[in-house]
Chain A
Amino acid sequence: MLDIRLGENGEVVLSGRLDAVQAAKVQGFLDGLAEPRVMDFKELEYISSAGLGVLLKTQKRIAANGALKLINVSKHIGDVFNYSGLDQIFDIELMDT
């Protein structure tokens, strides 16, 4: 399951698993926002290639105004970004442990 909502400061908060089944839901939510800038991954347990594709499409859309900021990223999900090279595209802030 995946839940997506807007946080108090306008950040997009994700919780659960962002997989191929949930990718369309997240894409629809992000497309509905004029310009998502920050995404909170504190409660995100898992992300697959389909989820990364959604983030890349969103980044492409807002590219003129800088990189999408991903905050509270777990070490494992941070590793996925790092080893796939996507850390060059996004502004990633790892979760304090």
Chain B
Amino acid sequence: MNDLISRVLLGLLPVVAFLFALVYLDSYKLIPLRRILATIVLGGAVAAASYIVYVTLTSRLAMDVTAYRRYIAPLIEELGKALFLVYLIRSNKVGFLVDAAIYGFAVGTGFALVENVYYLKLLVDTDLAVWVVRGAGTAIMHGGTTAIFAILAKALSERQDVTKVVTYLPGFLVAWTIHSVFNHFLISPVLSTLGILVILPPLSIAVFVRSEKSLQDWLNVGFDTDTELLELIHSGRLATSHVGIYLNSLKGRFDGIVLADLLCYLRIRVELSLRAKGLLLMIESGFAVKLDEATRSKFDELKFLEKSIGKTGKLALAPFLHVSGKDLWQLYMLENQSPP
């Protein structure tokens, strides 16, 4: 019984502890715990699906098990884990590198937990050293490779089109290669485990430092730009400003009502953008934040206005609206805050 408890602890605890250490170190904590838990469950589902593919390819199609373990399993498993991250990045649900790393590691954690529970049943009389390797080596490798994929994909998505495969390919190739090399057992499993434990913590710290600096820079610049535009809108000088002159030039191309909605849309987007940045400042200073009803209703209005002005209207406002991944993410983050 004690042996089983030791195996469970050695096999499952390190990866969960590493994940929650990442969450703890994140000073903004922008991903709610329930979403982290859901991501872990999703990672577990990917492990189950990968097992079905493994059985199908090796038993029914008689694929060589060694070749499968070295090349195909890393390909399928990394692809399965990466898909959720691709969805998150494409739909602007990840703001910063640290969030990408946490989501990535959480998917890998779920995968590793299900895989190790399966091996706990399969490898009954194995030495505890095997579970040290499975828990601190294989499991953390699963979290680490998906986190690396997520970090690289997120970093590239800030410079490239999020819909293009090329944004995700480098991260995927790195994750696949690390996983494949790990599965080759070129060095002893204990050394591989030590390697992972030596490389991952400093890598994680570097990501946290870069991510927080990027957030601060974006917050400083974005806050000033938003306040300047808001002041202009409220000042009564909008008509004579470059924004007003531009909007005036659109008169011939848009219906009068749509033109009015363009201005309303610009105003609400700027107000919400400023509210999101205020929320980040409050979180950074340790205030518990609840979103008020007035802000919530602005999202309803924003959706109405989006329909009214259509894609052409949004394109027309593009010179004044920030539409980077971070700018779109901040609205998602704000809308998903807890109600009062």
Q: Contacts of A85 on B, CB cut-off 8 Å?
A: 275, 278-279, 282, 289, 292, 295
- Per-position contact with B for A36-61: 1 when CB-CB < 8 Å, else 0? 00000000000011101100110110
CB distance from B94 to the nearest CB of A (A): 22
When the two chains form their complex, are residues A83 and B284 in contact, meaning their CB atoms are under 8 A apart?
no
B292 contacts A50, C-beta separation under 8 Å = no
Question: In the complex, what distance in Å separates the CA atom of A85 from the CA atom of B298?
Answer: 13
B285 near A49 (CB under 8 angstroms)? no
B200 near A: Cβ within 8 Å? no
- Does A89 interact with chain B (Cβ within 8 Å)? yes
B311 within 8 A of A: no
Query: Mask for A19-50, Cβ within 8 A of B = 1, else 0?
Result: 01000000000000000000000000000111
- Is A79 an interface residue, CB under 8 A from the partner? yes
Chain B residues with CB below 8 A from A57, complex form: 285
B282 near A79: Cβ-Cβ < 8 Å: no
Report whether A83 and B287 are in contact in the complex, using a CB–CB cutoff of 8 Å: no
Question: Which of B234, B284, B289 touches A53 (beta carbons < 8 Å)?
Answer: B284
Question: Binary interface profile of B, 117-157, with partner A (CB < 8 Å = 1, else 0)?
Answer: 00000000000000000000000000000000000000000
Tell me if A5 is interfacial: C-beta within 8 Å of chain B: no
- The total of Cβ contacts below 8 Å across the A-B interface reads 60
Interface string of B222-243 (1 = CB under 8 A from A): 0110010011001000000000
Are B231 and A89 touching (Cβ within 8 A)? no
Interface size class of B (residues with CB under 8 A): 20 to 34
How many residues belonging to A are interface residues under a CB distance threshold of 8 Å?
19
Tell me, yes or no, whether A97 is within 8 Å of chain B by CB.
no
Q: Flag if A79 contacts B220 (CB, 8 Å).
A: no
Between-chain CB contacts (< 8 Å), 25 pairs? A20-B220, A49-B219, A49-B224, A52-B281, A56-B281, A56-B282, A56-B284, A56-B285, A56-B287, A59-B285, A60-B286, A60-B287, A76-B234, A79-B230, A79-B234, A80-B230, A80-B274, A83-B271, A83-B274, A83-B275, A84-B281, A85-B275, A86-B278, A86-B281, A89-B282
